[in-house]
Amino acid sequence: MISTIFRYMTRKGKSMLILSIISFTVKSLLGASMMLVILDMLNKIIDGRTDNLHMYWIALAVIILLNGLFNTIADLAKHFSGFEIAAKIRTKVTLRLKQFSLGFYSKERLGEISTVIHKDVDNIESITAHMWSRMFSDFITAIIIGGLLFAINWKMGLAMISFLPIGLLLLIKGIKSTSKLEEDTQDNLADMVSLFVEYTKGIPLLKAFNESETFENKLKDSTNRFGESSKRLSKSIAKYIGKYFLFLELSFGVLAIVGAFMVFYGQLDVSNYIIFIIFSKEFYKPFTNIESHWLNYIKVKDSYSRVMAIMDAKVIEEVDQPKKMDGFDIRFNNVYFNYEKDEFQLSNVNLSIDEGNMVALVGPSGSGKTTITNLLLRFWDPQQGEIRIGGNDTREIDYDELLSNISIVMQNVILFSDSIYENIKVGKNDATREEIIEAAKKAEIHDFIKSLPEGYGTRLGENGVGLSGGQKQRLSIARAFLKDAPIVILDEMTSNVDPINERKIQKAISNLAADRTVIVIAHHLKTIRSADKIVVFNKGKIVETGSHDELLNSNGLYRKLWDAQKSAETRNLCSA
């Protein structure tokens, strides 16, 4: 773990960490030397030799000033080191997230990814900045002081470490035996944080459906699980730490007793005995700090594991010699696909979409419509079969080029807390203002934007709070116009919009479909009557293909869906 984190550190970060370790070590040695100066000064005063005492005062003043200086240097250096490692890891994680297929994000909850980027990276930063510098400097100081004490009297040195090996063995056993408890506690913490993130984001919806109590019970259960696992972990740690400190104190007790006997029998002078009593505390410091180091290790180990889980996760592999996208006809050949270990979501799908055609995907919920578009975008790859665009397997096309040639207009439009102008500009980062306005006009949203007090500069709330569903979708269509990709995937809104918005959306979609290959995930069958081809899915299989009129005449599933929607519309009109 340490070596991996070191690899992520910049040269400046490593230099700052080393500087902080050296500075803390010097500070500790200065503290020890101050005690030596005071002891020597007291011996002189006791012996009645009070001449040149001012030199001791000067020495103490210099030591105190140097102590403060090195403490400041160490503090600054450790924080700089921590900031460097946090920035580097966050950058690496962010870049890594961009390399995953979009399917990765449907498996990983937002709260978990957020925990990694913020809390887990913060944990690694705090350990790097605050624990490593102190821990390494403490051990270096202990080695130096321990060596000096052994040089003064090796028998006293052995007494000083008499029970230390037993304590360390118990500690190692404790670390091994609590590893599973640590893992459970951190997993429960991550789950609790994720639920809190989901809860805060979903409060309006939960209140609207009066489901707050249900989710609050989930939160309560998650919090209780975390609390119980934390208690079990704390008890286990306390048991081993208690035994460890007992043997550490026994070592000091042996040192004090052996030293007293050696003084009594004239084998050790009093001044050296006092030096051992005082400086053994400096020697024991890294061992007495082991409890906090252990707790910090637990915290950083699981944070490190979660960060590495992202860094080691499978990404979209780069193609050595990617094929160019020259044509935009689409072919699904004998495609089979399933999510995880579920039954096949798609079975033996054969689908052809000619360039420039509009094809509508129709079927009951869960029949495989969205899965088709997800595979085309390479959210996942099929377990069997192939998907070709312009004759090339999508796995042989550069992933960025693939996505750059496909525009997506989804029913759940993602809008950022930024201006309308910047939200449309997502479709093309280097777009001019004229291009953005033209895209908005084609999407039938320009007049609405101009009616706002700040026009295109109007800032949107998170996810477009305040806009209607139809307005959000037209902004999404504006992005698609701006991107001007030859392939368009359109996921119709499941909810009904007012007639004015519906007409504008349909007009915008008609404009967008011109001279493009369009795949529509259709929820309202009346909107796709003019499609070149309608493909009907049921339970992951294509059960019907044809035009609107052909499918109505065949009296199959499409006819049943059409009749059901017409009946629903009639009932709504009657109830109105």
**Per-residue pLDDT reduced to its tens digit, 345-394:** 888 999 999 999 999 999 888 888 889 998 998 888 888 999 999 999 99
Question: 414-484: what fold?
Answer: Rossmann fold (3.40.50)
Mean pLDDT of 202-227: 73
CA 226: distance to chain centroid? 20
pLDDT band (50, 70, 90) for residue 204: low
pLDDT higher than threshold 60 for residue 573: no
pLDDT higher at 509 or 102: 509
422-435 confidence digits (pLDDT tens): 999 988 888 999 99
Q: Please, are residues 274 and 267 in contact by the beta-carbon 8 Å criterion? A: no
What CA–CA distance (Å, rounded) separates 191 from 163? 41
Residue type, 378: R
Which residues pair with residue 419 across a beta bridge?
Answer: 459
What CA–CA distance (Å, rounded) separates 480 from 307? 34
Q: What is the pTM of this model?
A: 0.63
Write the burial class of residue 348 (CB in 10 Å: 0-12 exposed, 13-18 middle, 19+ buried).
middle
Determine phi and psi for 83, rounding to 5 degrees: -65, -40
The pairing of beta strand 392-393 with beta strand 384-389: antiparallel
Q: Looking at residue 128, what is its pLDDT?
A: 74
Topology alike, domains 327-405+487-494+514-571 and 414-484:
yes
Q: What number of other Cβ atoms are within 10 A of residue 217's Cβ? A: 10
pLDDT higher than threshold 80 for residue 342: no
pLDDT band (50, 70, 90) for residue 494: low
Mean pLDDT estimate for the chain = 84
238-254 confidence digits (pLDDT tens): 888 888 889 999 999 99
Which residues pair with residue 397 across a beta bridge?
Answer: 323
pLDDT above 90: percentage of residues in the chain: 30
Question: 327-405+487-494+514-571: what fold?
Answer: Rossmann fold (3.40.50)
**Domain 2-312 classification at class level:** mainly alpha
Minimal CA–CA distance to 475: which of 511, 439, 507, 451?
439
pLDDT higher than threshold 80 for residue 289: yes
What CA–CA distance (Å, rounded) separates 557 from 546? 12
* Sequence-distant (≥ 6) Cβ neighbours of residue 333 within 8 angstroms: 350, 385, 386, 387, 388
pLDDT higher than threshold 70 for residue 68: yes
Q: Domain boundaries in the chain?
A: 2-312, 327-405+487-494+514-571, 414-484
470-492 confidence digits (pLDDT tens): 888 889 899 999 999 999 999 87
Mean pLDDT of 513-526: 87
Q: Looking at residue 1, what is its pLDDT?
A: 67
